[in-house]
Amino acid sequence: MIKKRLIARIDIKNEFVIKGIHLEGVRKIGDPHDLAVKYYEERIDEILFMDAVASLYGRNNLFDIIERSCRDVFVPITVGGGIRTMEDIERSLKAGADKVAINTQAVKTPQFIAEAVRTFGSQCIVASVEAKRHGAGWESYCDNGREHTGKDALGWCRQLEELGAGELLVTSVDTEGTKKGCDLQLLQAAAKGAGIPVIGCGGIGNTGHVVDVFQKTACDAVAVASILHYNLAGVGQIKEALLAGGVQVRP
């Protein structure tokens, strides 16, 4: 049986780890390298670094952070935010990242995903979808949840899979940072029937919320931030809760 993954999400602005609510109202948390090492030593499965303002300013500023972290962290690392060109992907991978997460550029130019897959392989291309409830469904947003795309989020997930993305990162903007639990309806709708792994993100505030995602949706992984950053539970506690709930994870 393929084990479920627990991913630490580390959002960064101006070299500081930050955390907000609904991707806004950010608060400084600490140093990204120090937190990455801490979570690695606690046996996190993967780490996701996201430049929170990269799309806004048209650049990714994480390459030095990735290079530094890769000297001390030996789990898969994904980098996202401001990935706009083949050169950005190449530079991310050369800095030590295993995967890149792409949202805004995919919305602007969907074939960018297909080109990236042809060039680098689907295994390192994560399509990021930021979804907000809209009527009976969800709309996809970009620019770190700031801009409407007019795209139905679930339809966009399916299109990204068809374009060759190797994974989907689905973040609920409505629940992000609230610590009140994930939008399980969104995550199940995105993961049900998907032919690629789906990472659920947004709203985790306690170990039960993580268990809920794996018990009530078909997600393959959960990305967590607040629960770790605010010491609400450690990696070990989360994994113990998952094992107790019958969810197969790495020890």
Residue 158's Cβ-count burial label (10 Å; 0-12, 13-18, 19+) is: middle
The H-or-E segment that residue 210 falls in is: helix 207-216
H helix runs in 135-206, sequence order = 153-162, 184-191
CA 75 to centroid of chain Cα atoms: 15
Report the C-alpha gap between 60 and 169 in whole angstroms.
Answer: 18
The H-or-E segment that residue 201 falls in is: strand 198-201
Provide the annotated active-site residues: 11, 130
Report the C-alpha gap between 222 and 227 in whole angstroms.
Answer: 12
Report the C-alpha gap between 199 and 7 in whole angstroms.
Answer: 9
